[in-house]
Amino acid sequence: MSRIVRTSTVLDDLTGGLEEGSITLIYGPTGCGKTTLCLKIAENIGLENYKVVYIDTEGGAPELPGVRLIRVRDLRGQGEALKMLRKEGLSRTLIILDSMTAQYHRRVLSVPAKFRASLAADLGGDLSRHLDILRDIVEGRDNIAVITAHLKSPVEHYFKMNMLRKMAKAWREGRYTPTAGDYMNIFAEDPVKWIGGRALGMHVHRRFRIFVDDDGSRILYLEKWPGRYNFCIRYVMDKSGSFQRIGGLFSLEDQMKNKLYSIEFKSVLGEVLEVSEKEGIEVEGAEEGGKKEEGPKRREEGQRRQRPKPGELRLPKVPSLGDIAEEERARGGRADEPGDSGPGGEGAGGGQG
């Protein structure tokens, strides 16, 4: 039976620690504290007489005493670093790859929208190969691997991303409130495919997800672990990166899960808006009948009038996937493929440092 190695973090409350011979994925939206948790694990696991190799792909990890830091700038460098570690024949070593998908998303977003789907498919193969190398390093050995990933995707079908942009704009204008149901519809109840391909969900042995609640507290959710699931621990982080647990273990009931999904969906829509504006992609559907954009003052007044009153239930005034598909067919294009109707093909989704 594989040994469980303590990390002296909130992760231990759920599983007792990290398991030797396994790859553990920690994922969640931008800014949820994945890197902070990994740095604490790297700092503490030395007390268990473990060596630590920290592969930093985003340039944000600091130098830590006793931790071997490797910085990479692209996917090729990420693969070369892993191959080098495999040749070294490591033992009793924790390898942290933070984030495994950062360079993947960066590469995909660097090309025009209509080319992103094909590029993402190619680069997804690179991520699978990197995971294979990690498996070679840890499986059947006393090594451990931890990888992180962002909960966002720069590639999805044109009509779905266009729908997200419309929903995001309606949310910003106060005409729509993100819901758990919409979140589940958009993510098809399989958010793992939005963090860099299905390989991440299929080839990791253990999986944790971090949610951010309304009050800023974090919930670490045990999503995949043999014999245990649906357990959570709530905690807060201070500026030094220390963790303070709030209460004990609890299960994630449907009501709480729906609340967290709706909060996370707001983060998704926020990133959709950010990327759309950065890339100069016009958010469609703001006006009916081809009306021109109003001036800032009138637009602001209109937004105030459109905001629902407290306690008022207002359905989202955004098209369904079928509506958008019909609209695309009317234009002479196909709704299930990126078309030539503008730069809004596939964009960056929201929500993984």
DSSP letters, 80-107, are HHHHHHHHTT--SEEEEEETSSHHHHHH
Distance separating alpha carbons of residues 44 and 47, to the nearest angstrom? 6
Percent of the chain scoring above 90 in pLDDT: 28
Domain ranges of the chain: 4-154+186-253
pTM: 0.70
State the pLDDT at residue 342: 34
From the number of C-beta atoms within 10 Å of its C-beta (0-12, 13-18, 19+), residue 313 rates as: exposed
State the pLDDT at residue 252: 80
End-to-end CA distance of the chain: 33
Which residues are CB-neighbours of 78 under 8 A, at least 6 positions away? 55, 57, 72, 97, 100, 103, 130
More confident residue, 350 or 32: 32
| Interval 161-207: pLDDT, tens | 667 778 888 888 888 888 887 777 766 545 444 455 556 666 788 88
Distance separating alpha carbons of residues 257 and 255, to the nearest angstrom? 5
Could you give the 3-state DSSP secondary structure of residue 317?
Answer: coil
Distance separating alpha carbons of residues 144 and 284, to the nearest angstrom? 47
| Interval 317-338: pLDDT, tens | 444 445 555 655 665 544 343 3
From the number of C-beta atoms within 10 Å of its C-beta (0-12, 13-18, 19+), residue 114 rates as: middle
Query: Per CATH, the architecture of 4-154+186-253 is what?
Result: 3-Layer(aba) Sandwich (3.40)
| Interval 160-171: pLDDT, tens | 666 777 888 888
